[in-house]
Amino acid sequence: MPRTAVLTVPAIAVLTAAGCAASAGPPRVIAMDDIRVGPSRQAIFIGDYERALVSIAAVTERDLHLPRLRASLHFFPNRDALSAALEAEGAPPDVARDAAAVMMAIGGPGSVYINEAAFADLNWNSRIAVLAHELTHTIQYEFAGGRRGTSDQWLREGFAEWVQAHVLDALGVMRRDDIQARSVRWVRDMHARRDLPPLAKLATFPDWVAVHNGRARDSLYPYAFVATDFLVRRHGVEAVTTYFTLFAESDDRFANFATAFGEEWSAFDAALEEYFSRLIGT
């Protein structure tokens, strides 16, 4: 599949509600370079995609020192149109159809594809959350020179969640500490059900999809967020961005991990297991 994808995730599920309806119509494009409005510091003042884009960009650039967002939003009126667009981009017909059936937004190199009918059921806080996540995926592609590479899927999703949490906090939607606490609760519940897979089984997109289709689906994004937050606290956000950059030249995921974070994957995995044991009280 040519593009990374995201579903509405439990960490922000409380934001989802029937809200401002987006108009259905032919596909249209909103490009960052064409936007002339300024950013807002509070989500309450965001009521259109242009202001949402520049407001998210202001947070990611100012607070997190991520690259300038250059992505465009591509709107499709319904899932059939989205499926056709994905197929035109090179996805096999069955993959395009299945993705469009369950995904409301799909981020890839330089663009986010949006099912506008699905977005119509979200209020603006939820749209901002999904856009922040998906736009982070476009940055990940930019780091790697437009390549997907073999970077771990759990870290791709976890970092998108990590950035999303900062955006929601900065724009006054939800405190980052509350998102962290909510995610930890999901991880605890997942462990209690014995549904917590090792990160090694979430390394590829097919791995992620396979687990997502099972009993652990509701906890996957919180799980990835908590693991990524631990990684950032341990090594810093610059190490994470370095990790994605290394995939521009190499698909050796273990060597890239060791280079970026200064420790072998096995050492991090053991430290993470100890951290999770403390979190869940075992």
Mean pLDDT of 211-240: 88
pLDDT of residue 282: 56
Say whether pLDDT at 15 is over 50: no
Burial 159-185 (b: 16+ CB within 10 A, else e): bbbbbbbbbbbbbebbebeebbebbbe
Model confidence pLDDT, tens digit, residues 155-178: 999 999 999 999 999 999 999 999
How does residue 46 score in pLDDT terms, banded at 50, 70 and 90?
Answer: very high
pLDDT of residue 279: 77
Complete edge-to-edge strand list for the sheet that includes strand 105-108: 4-6, 105-108, 111-115, 72-76, 28-31
Amino acid at 165: A
pLDDT of residue 91: 79
Say whether pLDDT at 12 is over 70: no
pLDDT of residue 27: 67
Burial 76-111 (b: 16+ CB within 10 A, else e): bbebebbbbbbbeeebeeebbbbbbeebbbbbbbeb
Say whether pLDDT at 7 is over 70: no
Say whether pLDDT at 4 is over 60: no
> Cβ(105)–Cβ(115) under 8 Å?
yes
Say whether pLDDT at 238 is over 80: yes
Domains of the chain: 4-280 (1.10.390)
Say whether pLDDT at 278 is over 80: yes
pLDDT of residue 192: 65
Higher pLDDT, 211 or 241: 241
> Cβ(183)–Cβ(226) under 8 Å?
yes
pLDDT of residue 149: 86
Model confidence pLDDT, tens digit, residues 65-115: 999 998 999 999 999 999 998 888 887 888 788 778 877 898 889 999 999
Say whether pLDDT at 234 is over 80: yes
